[in-house]
Amino acid sequence: MLISDQSSEAPPGKSLGFFCWGISGRTLYEEFVYVQKSNEELIIDMSFIALLPVRDEADIIGQSLRHALAWADAIYVFDSGSVDNTWEIVLDLASREKRVKPIRKEPVYFSDTRVRGFLFHYARQFMRDGDWFLRIDADEFHHIPPPEFAKPHLRKGETIA
C-alpha cells in the first residue's frame, strides 16, 4: 500500500484517503481507500512482507534476518541449494521468531525472476488486501526501514515507490 495526499472529500467518519497498490486474492490492484483517525493516529491495516531468496549466506543470514525483523511483518525464505549451514540458521531463528517463514530448501538453477515469482506465489496466499511485499537480499541492509521510506516519497496519485 502506498500513501498519497489527504483527500478533501472524505465520507462521514473517515478523515484521510490514500491511493493503494496491493494484492487482492491473486491479483494486483490499485484503489483509493479511506481510513479513520483515532487519537490523531492513522489506523492503516497493512503488512510489509519480505521475500528472501538465499544461497550460501551463513556468514550474514542471522544478521540479515534480525535487521529485517525490525520492520517486516513476515519474512518468507527460500534456500536455493546452500551447501553451508544457511538453512539451519534460518530454521533455528524461525523456531524462535514466528515472523520468519522458511518455505523450503531445494537446489535449483537460479533465475532471479523465477525465484522471485515462486516466493511471491507462495507468500501471496497468506497476504491480505493492502499488504506490501519486497524482495530483499541477505547481504543488503536498508538504512531506512521500507515502511518509513515509502510513505513520504509519494506524490498524489502515485501507486508505486
Predicted local confidence at residue 42, as pLDDT: 40
pLDDT for 46-56, tens place per residue?
688 999 999 99
**Residues 6 or more apart whose Cβ sits within 8 Å of residue 152:** none
User: Residue 155 — very low, low, confident or very high, per pLDDT cuts 50/70/90?
Assistant: low
Is this model's pTM higher than 0.75 or not? Answer: no
Q: Tell the CATH superfamily of the 48-142 domain.
A: Spore Coat Polysaccharide Biosynthesis Protein SpsA; Chain A (3.90.550.10)
Burial class (CB in 10 A: 0-12, 13-18, 19+), 103: middle
82 close to 54: Cβ distance less than 8 angstroms: yes
**Residues 6 or more apart whose Cβ sits within 8 Å of residue 128:** 45, 46, 47
Could you tell me the residue ranges of all domains in the chain?
A: 48-142
Which residue in the block uniquely carries the three cell numbers 538453477? Answer: 109
Is 19's pLDDT higher than 60?
no
Least confident interval from 61-65, 111-115, 120-124, 133-137: 111-115
Q: Which three cell numbers stand for residue 148?
A: 518509513
Helix (H, G, I), strand (E, B) or coil at 39: coil
What count of Cα atoms within 13 Å lies in the side-chain half-sphere of residue 124?
Answer: 14
> Nearest Cα to 46, choosing from 73, 6, 66, 75?
73
Cα→Cα distances 5→19, 97, 145, 158, Å: 8, 36, 21, 10
Q: What is the mean pLDDT of residues 76-102?
A: 96
∠ CA(151), CA(152), CA(155), 5° rounding? Answer: 95
User: Residue 6 — very low, low, confident or very high, per pLDDT cuts 50/70/90?
Assistant: very low
Q: What is the mean pLDDT of residues 104-129?
A: 86
